[in-house]
C-alpha cells in the first residue's frame, strides 16, 4: 500500500509540481539531492562555477505550488564546506520547512528534520548529538528533552522515504486541495434521494481527520454516486443497480471502483455502454474487485487520463 502511495505521489509531483513542465523526481533521493547542492563561489581559487538547471530545485517546486517562499531560504542555498556546519545548515532548513508547512495546516508532527537529511549528513548528526564526533563546538541544545533516534542505514532509508512522502502528501493537501472551490459543489441535500442520508459538514473544525477541502471532495463523491448509480447500471447484468452508500473515506469506500466510475460517468457518459456497464455492482471476491479495477483503468486510458496507473 505504501509503495502504491509513493508511486502516485511521485507521478503527480513529476507531472504537475513544476512551473516549467515535467521534472522527474525520485523519493527520497532526488529531493535530498535538490536541497543539498553545494555551490562554489567565484571568489575561491581553483574552482569553477557550477551550472545548475534553474527551476528544478525542491524549493522551486514549493514556490510554484505555494506562491511564496519560506523566509530565509532561497531555492539554491550556498552551503558550508565543513561537513558539520553543512549538516547544521540543512537541519535548520528542514526544521524551517516543517514549521512552515505546519503553519499552513500540514500534519507533520511525526516527521523530524533529521529524517530529511541525506544518509551521510544523518550519520554526522547522530555522531554530533551522541558525543561520538569530536571537534565540533556547536551545541545542539534544541534537542534537549527530545529523544534522539539512532537508526542503522537500512532503517534510516525506509524512514527517510516515508518522511519525504508524507511531506509531499501534506504539501498537496495544504497547497493544491484548497483550490477546490465549494461554490461549484451543490448542496448534496438538494437531491431528494440524499435527504435521508447523514450529511458531511464542510466546517473547518468538524473533523480531525479530513480537511475542509477533502470533505468538499467527499460531498462531491456522494452527490454524483447517488445521482448516477441508477443511470449507469440500470441495465447491469452483473448484480443490478448498486445500493445506496454513504461515502466517508478515500480508501475502503472507493475500493470496488463503482464510486469513481459514477464520477467519470457524470463527465463522460459515453463510457457507460462501453465500459461501466460491464462492472460488478456488488463485488465480493478479489477477482471481481480486480475486474472492476481493470475496467476503470481502461476507461481512464480511453480518455488519456491514465497517468501510468497500475492495477
**pTM, rounded to two decimals:** 0.62
Q: Supply the pLDDT for residue 56.
A: 57
Are residues 88 and 188 both part of a single domain? no
> 25 is in which domain, residue-wise?
1-179
Residue 262, pLDDT score: 94
Grid cell 545548475 is found at 52
- The pLDDT value recorded for residue 142 is 46
Regarding whether 159 and 111 lie in a shared domain, the answer is yes
On whether the CB atoms of residues 220 and 185 are closer than 8 A, the answer is: yes
* Nearest C-alpha neighbor of 235 from the set 285, 291, 278: 278
Residue 311 lies inside a defined structural domain of this protein: no
Rounded (to 5) percent helix, strand, coil in the chain: 50, 0, 50
Sequence-separated (6 or more) residues with CB below 8 Å from residue 176: 65
- pLDDT 10s digits, 196-231: 555 555 555 555 577 777 888 888 888 889 889 999
Pair 63, 138 in one domain: yes
CA 232 to chain centre: 31
- Residue 311 CA to residue 293 CA, distance in Å, equals 7
One domain for residues 141 and 197: no
What pLDDT is attached to residue 198? 55
Radius of gyration, alpha carbons of the chain: 24
Give yes or no: residues 271 and 155 share one domain: no
**What local confidence, expressed as pLDDT, does residue 156 receive?**
93
In a shared domain, residues 102 and 132: yes
Same domain, 109 and 142: yes
Q: Are the C-beta atoms of 68 and 101 separated by less than 8 Å?
A: no
In angstroms, the CA 288 to CA 309 distance is 19
- Residues 238, 160 within the same domain: no
Q: List, for the chain, all residue ranges whose pLDDT scores fall below the cut of 70.
A: 34-56, 74-78, 132-146, 180-208, 306-311
* Predicted local confidence at residue 143, as pLDDT: 53
Q: Are residues 48 and 138 in the same domain?
A: yes
H/E stretch holding 261 reads: helix 258-267
SS3 call for 297: helix
Q: Among 147, 179, 211, give the residue marking a domain's end.
A: 179
Give dist(CA 270, CA 228) in Å, integer. 13
How many structural domains are present in the chain? 2
pLDDT at 155: 93
- What's the first-to-final CA gap in the chain, in angstroms? 12
Q: Are residues 114 and 243 in the same domain?
A: no
Task: Give the residue from 179, 199, 214 where a domain finishes.
Answer: 179
Amino acid at each position: 500500500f505504501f509503495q502504491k502511495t509513493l508511486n502516485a505521489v511521485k507521478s503527480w509531483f513529476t507531472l504537475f509540481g513544476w512551473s516549467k513542465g515535467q521534472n522527474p523526481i525520485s523519493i527520497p533521493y532526488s529531493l535530498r539531492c535538490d536541497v543539498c547542492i553545494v555551490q562554489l563561489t567565484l571568489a575561491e581559487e581553483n574552482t569553477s562555477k557550477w551550472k545548475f538547471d534553474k527551476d528544478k530545485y525542491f524549493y522551486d517546486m514549493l514556490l510554484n505550488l505555494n506562491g511564496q517562499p519560506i523566509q530565509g531560504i532561497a531555492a539554491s542555498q550556498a552551503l558550508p564546506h565543513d561537513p558539520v556546519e553543512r549538516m547544521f545548515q540543512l537541519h535548520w532548513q528542514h526544521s524551517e520547512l516543517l514549521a512552515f508547512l505546519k503553519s499552513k495546516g500540514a500534519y507533520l508532527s511525526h516527521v523530524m528534520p533529521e529524517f530529511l537529511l541525506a544518509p551521510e549528513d544523518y550519520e554526522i548528526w547522530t555522531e554530533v548529538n551522541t558525543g561520538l564526533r569530536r571537534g565540533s563546538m556547536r551545541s545542539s541544545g534544541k534537542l534537549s528533552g527530545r529523544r534522539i533516534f539512532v537508526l542503522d542505514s537500512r532503517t534510516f532509508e525506509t524512514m527517510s522515504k516515508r518522511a519525504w512522502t508524507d511531506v509531499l502528501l501534506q504539501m498537496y493537501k495544504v497547497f493544491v486541495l484548497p483550490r477546490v472551490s465549494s461554490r461549484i459543489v451543490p448542496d448534496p441535500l438538494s437531491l431528494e434521494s440524499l435527504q435521508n442520508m447523514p450529511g458531511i459538514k464542510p466546517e473547518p473544525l468538524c473533523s480531525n481527520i479530513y480537511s475542509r477541502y477533502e470533505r468538499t471532495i467527499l460531498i462531491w463523491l456522494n452527490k454524483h454516486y447517488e445521482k448516477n448509480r441508477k443511470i449507469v447500471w440500470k441495465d447491469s447484468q452483473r448484480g443490478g443497480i448498486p445500493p445506496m452508500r454513504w461515502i466517508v473515506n478515500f480508501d475502503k469506500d472507493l475500493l470496488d471502483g463503482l464510486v469513481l466510475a459514477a464520477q467519470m460517468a457524470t463527465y463522460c457518459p459515453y463510457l457507460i455502454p462501453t465500459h461501466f456497464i460491464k462492472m460488478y455492482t456488488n463485488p465480493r471476491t478479489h477477482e471481481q474487485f480486480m475486474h472492476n479495477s481493470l475496467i476503470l483503468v481502461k476507461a481512464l486510458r480511453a480518455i488519456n487520463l491514465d497517468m501510468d496507473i497500475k492495477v
